[in-house]
Structure 1
Amino acid sequence: MSNLENLRESVIEQAHEKGRMKLLDSKKKIDDEFEMQKSLIIKKKEAEHERKLKELQQKYQIIFQQLKNKERQSTLVSK
């Protein structure tokens, strides 16, 4: 091979290596962004589930208290 051909091959190899490095860097950035978005979505869903659970617990407590009050009223009436 001539020096010119060697130089050409070297330049092509360097370009390919730079391309591979850019591809790996871009893939890492995309993966990191994906994980961050996934984490945010999970946190939002967990917060929503927690809010709904508290809401249901409050409704249950109200219903339970109403039943206790009715029970007390019925025992007072029957005395």
Structure 2
Amino acid sequence: MILNEVMKFVESEYVIINNTPCEICGGEYITESLGLTFNNGHASNVTTCVCENCGNEREFLFRAPFVSQTDPESQTSKEELN
């Protein structure tokens, strides 16, 4: 994936977050933190947000195909196995 594709992918995540109202009060979410998680060899972006009105917290998970497939426990990437 080239850099422009990655940027469009991440931008689309923020479009979803910005168009998702808080389920408690209908307010808008503000990004509090970003991170990555690995589950069964698949990477996901984890974006923790907080409602600007009521403080409700919500995590948004998005797949992250642009992250190399690395097993964080063994620290072995696919390239190292070949």
For normalisation by structure 1, the TM-score amounts to 0.28
Of the two, which has the highest radius of gyration? 1
When you count strand as a share of all residues, which structure comes out higher? 2
When you count helix as a share of all residues, which structure comes out higher? 1
For normalisation by structure 2, the TM-score amounts to 0.27
